[in-house]
């Protein structure tokens, strides 16, 4: 598989403001050995052709995420991006196309159109609103994010070798620890990332049993801060462990190579949103699209699988609309099944 940009996402900025495109580059250093920029191309249809170059964005060392705004873009405009080298000129593989209608992190307006929601029955604005509500609900239910996000977090050190986490780890770039050892000053000390075993084997080895996303952790192996001081555990404290890196519950695409960048624990790919998450988000969006103002449509969307009546020889039971729930979380057993499988580890604190 030829290297290409990842996680292309469009955002509709409104009439007159155009379309914003965001993407990331994985394994950046290796990519920059061959490519110098990313070209943004547009077309009038999902199938293309994509011949109009609307922007060329230069790759920058240590910059993994990029943005381009097409001021003349409309909701009907389609986009692809590709790696580019002007010396050839040479172009890399194009990404899958996205439309100017945008959507969310997991689901797009065009995804909903593909499931059967059409205009004018569902406007683009209504579709974007339903997607935003569905993704917010999914975050509330699972306490997980299903895209690769770069950020810095501060955790409580526990005085042990293993530091459990609640958020799936993609890669750790930097670790700082506030001293909690005898003879150490209480300052943030740099920790060699290579001294810590990162639980990200779902990306580096395509290992799913055990699945590190279900039990994310960092295991301290060994670190020498000074000749007389050997540190082999996380200093106990409150928000004294600062981690910078990438986090999120993602999966490798079919055909992607599992592995690490040479001499590191950094994965070759940061992965994509799991397809089952997209399915769950679509089913949640269906609930958000349905309106209680139309009782029939609302019941069909939210209680399609519910048992409404139980009839026996001498008696029968009928349940009212307010008690019809086939799932314990959303009322839809299919959505609940997916949500249960993706919920974050339970946080346990002892005092």
Count of domains for the chain? 3
Residues 122 and 92 in one domain: no
Determine the pLDDT at residue 322. Answer: 45
What span, in angstroms and rounded, lies between the C-alpha atoms of 131 and 264? 37
214: tokens are 């279900």
First vs last C-alpha separation in the chain? 51
Same domain, 156 and 233: yes
Q: Is residue 30 part of a domain?
A: yes
Is 252 within a domain? Answer: no
Q: Rounded to whole angstroms, how far apart are CA atoms 153 and 155? A: 7
Check whether residue 124 and residue 204 sit in a common domain: no
Q: Which domain holds residue 76?
A: 1-102
For 312-332, letters b (16+ CB in 10 Å) and e give: eeeeeeeeeeeeebbbebbbb
pLDDT of residue 321: 47
40 and 68 assigned to the same domain: yes
Position 153 in a domain: yes
Kindly list the strands in the beta sheet with 217-220, ordered across the sheet, starting from the edge strand earlier in the chain: 162-164, 217-220, 196-198
Q: Do 294 and 236 share a structural domain?
A: no
271 within some domain = no
Residue 15 lies in a domain: yes
111 shares its domain with 95: no
Same domain, 114 and 164: no
* Statement to judge: residues 214 and 69 lie in one domain: no
> Is position 137 within any domain?
yes
Confidence at residue 324, expressed as pLDDT on a 0 to 100 scale: 45
| pLDDT at 337 (0 to 100) | 80
The answer to whether position 255 is within a domain reads no
What is the structure's pLDDT at 319?
53
Average pLDDT of adjacent 10-residue blocks, the chain of 351 residues: 87 97 96 96 96 96 97 97 93 96 97 91 95 95 95 93 95 85 59 90 95 94 61 85 96 93 93 94 89 63 57 68 54 78 72 48
Residues 75 and 133 in one domain: no
The 3-class SS string of the chain reads: CCCCCEEEEEEECCCCCCEEEEEECCCHHHHHCCCCEEEEEEECCCCCCCCEEEEEEECCCCCCEEEEEECCCCCCCEEEEEEEECCCCEECCCCCCEECCCECCCCEHHHHHHCCCCCCCCCHHHHHHHHHHHHHHHHHHHCCCCCCEEEEEEECCCCCCEEECCCCEEEEEEEEEECCCCCCCCCEEEECHHHEEECCHHHHCCCCCCCCCCCCEEEECCEEEECCEEECCCCCCCCCEEEEEEECCCECCCCCCCCECCCCCCECCCCECCHHHHHHHHHHHHHHHCCCCCHHHHHHHHCCCCCCEEECCCCEEECCHHHCCCCCCCCCHHHHHHHHHHCCCCCCCCC
CA-to-CA separations, 159 to 4, 155, 180, 197, in angstroms, rounded? 42, 12, 9, 16
Tokens of 82: 């590709």
Q: What is the pLDDT of residue 179?
A: 65
Whether residues 294 and 321 fall in one domain: yes
The pLDDT, as a whole number, for residue 189 is 77
Q: What is the pLDDT of residue 328?
A: 65
| pLDDT computed for residue 208 by the predictor | 92
């Amino acid at each position: 598989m030829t290297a290409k940009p990842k996680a292309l996402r469009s955002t509709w900025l409104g009439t007159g403001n155009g379309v914003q495109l965001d993407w990331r580059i994985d394994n950046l250093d290796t990519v920059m050995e061959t490519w110098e920029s990313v070209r943004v191309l547009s077309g009038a249809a999902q199938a293309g052709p994509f011949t109009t170059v609307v922007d060329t964005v230069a790759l920058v060392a240590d910059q993994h995420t990029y943005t381009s705004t097409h001021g003349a873009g409309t909701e009907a405009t389609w986009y692809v991006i590709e790696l580019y080298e002007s010396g050839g000129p040479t172009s890399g593989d194009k990404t899958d196309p996205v439309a100017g209608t945008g959507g969310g992190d997991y689901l797009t307006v065009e995804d909903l159109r593909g499931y059967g929601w059409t205009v004018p029955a569902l406007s683009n604005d209504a579709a974007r609103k339903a997607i935003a509500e569905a993704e917010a609900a999914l975050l509330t239910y699972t306490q997980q994010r299903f895209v690769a996000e770069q950020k810095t977090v501060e955790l409580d050190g526990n005085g042990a070798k293993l530091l459990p986490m609640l958020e799936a780890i993609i890669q750790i770039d930097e670790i700082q620890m506030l001293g909690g050892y005898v003879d150490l000053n209480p300052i943030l000390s740099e920790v060699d990332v290579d001294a810590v075993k990162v639980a990200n084997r779902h990306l580096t080895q395509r290992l799913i049993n055990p699945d590190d996303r279900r039990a994310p952790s960092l295991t301290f192996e060994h670190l020498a801060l000074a000749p007389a001081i050997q540190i082999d555990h996380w200093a106990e404290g409150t928000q004294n462990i600062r981690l910078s890196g990438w986090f999120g519950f993602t999966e490798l695409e079919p055909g992607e190579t599992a592995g690490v960048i040479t001499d590191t624990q950094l994965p070759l790919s940061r992965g994509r949103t799991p397809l089952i998450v997209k399915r769950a988000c679509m089913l949640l969006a269906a609930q958000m699209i349905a309106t209680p103002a139309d009782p029939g449509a609302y019941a069909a969307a939210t209680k399609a699988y519910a048992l409404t009546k139980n009839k026996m020889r001498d008696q029968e039971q009928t349940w009212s609309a307010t008690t019809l729930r086939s799932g314990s979380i959303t009322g839809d057993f299919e959505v609940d099944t997916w949500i249960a499988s993706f919920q974050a580890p339970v946080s346990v604190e002892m005092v």
